[in-house]
Amino acid sequence: MSVTTKEAVLLRVYLAEAVKWEHKPLYEVVVMRAREHGLAGATVLRGPMGYGRSTHLHTAKILDLSINLPIVVEVVDSEEKINGFLPVLEGLLLGGLVTMEKVKILSFSGSAGA
């Protein structure tokens, strides 16, 4: 088995589940726009608990029946392509938190357990 590595950037967009863009969940719009721009991959993660700037606690506990849980959209691609996507993202967000960090993509090839 061989492993190859490639430098990339991980873009994280922190949102609330209830935030909409033209009547659609904003996290869906971010993923679809990333796909339209040919970015390598995107994943939406739904958090069972969290809080933001307002310090209002969002939780998935059954008594709270929250439909506004924390959402993180992760997008991975080259730094150049992520930077090209930032103006699109800026046009969608009215607030929230966005982070970027350099990552290494590992690609495995060959057969395991020979």
- Position 97 scores a pLDDT of 92
Tens-binned pLDDT, residue by residue, of the chain (114 aa): 899 999 999 999 999 899 999 999 999 999 999 999 999 999 999 988 877 777 777 666 655 555 778 999 999 999 999 999 999 999 999 888 999 999 999 999 876 665
> Rg of the chain's alpha carbons, rounded to an integer?
17
In 1-114, DSSP assigns E strands to: 2-16, 20-21, 24-25, 41-46, 49-50, 58-59, 70-77, 97-109
- Is residue 50 situated within a structural domain? yes
Backbone angles phi, psi at 4, to 5 degrees: -115, 150
Domain containing 81: what range?
11-104
Instruction: Show Cβ contacts of residue 90 under 8 Å, excluding neighbours closer than 6 positions.
Output: none
- Position 81 scores a pLDDT of 98
- Is residue 111 situated within a structural domain? no
- Is residue 3 situated within a structural domain? no
- Is residue 4 situated within a structural domain? no
- Is residue 63 situated within a structural domain? yes
**Count of all residues that appear for the chain in the document:** 114
For residue 81, give the CATH number of its domain.
3.30.70.120
- Is residue 112 situated within a structural domain? no
Split into its structural domains, the chain has a count of 1
